[in-house]
């Protein structure tokens, strides 16, 4: 296996691990953390795809921006950009009290939001995993 594919597989496994952690956060009713981990899972999955394309150091934390970079290699990923943008809304406010107009992140997110974030992340992971499988 080539070095880019090895690195891609490492990142996709990290994405899958983050998604499992998100599921654990839903089970323990830490919905803000579940949303954040779903965003992280999607971010890592797209970075895995970019590593597989030979990108040496995919930069950034925005899933939507990373997907825009991925379009250089596969225009079929365009339909995931709105989902990436939705997940990006969970990057900062889920963790920091000053990311919200009032209250705490732990009080601001619901189980429904956490489950939706998980579903969005799973969609992105599955698409990226499938593209990696095609390259192997």
DSSP letter (8 states) at residue 30? -
Q: What is the tens place of the pLDDT at every residue in 12-46? A: 999 999 999 999 999 999 999 999 999 999 999 99
For residues 135, 4, 68 and 58, what is the CA-based torsion angle, rounded to 10 degrees? Answer: 170
Q: Is the pTM of this model over 0.85?
A: yes
CA distance 41 to 124: 9
Q: What is the tens place of the pLDDT at every residue in 49-88? A: 999 999 999 999 999 999 999 999 999 999 999 999 999 9
Per-residue pLDDT at 131 exceeds 70:
yes
**Where do the domains of the chain lie, and which CATH numbers do they carry?**
3-135 (1.20.120.330)
Instruction: Tell me the C-alpha to C-alpha distance, in Å, between residue 119 and each of 37, 39, 74, 95, 103.
Output: 12, 11, 22, 20, 26
């Amino acid at each position: 296996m080539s070095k880019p594919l090895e690195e891609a597989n490492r990142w996709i496994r990290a994405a899958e691990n983050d998604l499992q952690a998100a599921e654990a956060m839903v089970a323990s009713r830490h919905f803000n953390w579940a949303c954040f981990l779903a965003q992280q899972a999607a971010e890592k999955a797209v970075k895995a795809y970019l590593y597989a394309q030979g990108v040496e150091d995919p930069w950034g934390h925005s899933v939507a921006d990373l997907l825009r970079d991925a379009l250089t290699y596969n225009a079929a990923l365009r339909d995931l950009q709105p989902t990436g943008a939705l997940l990006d809304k969970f990057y900062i406010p889920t963790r920091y009290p000053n990311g919200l107009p009032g209250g705490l992140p732990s009080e601001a997110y619901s189980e429904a939001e956490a489950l939706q974030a998980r579903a969005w992340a799973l969609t992105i992971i599955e698409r990226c995993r499938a593209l990696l499988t095609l390259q192997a």
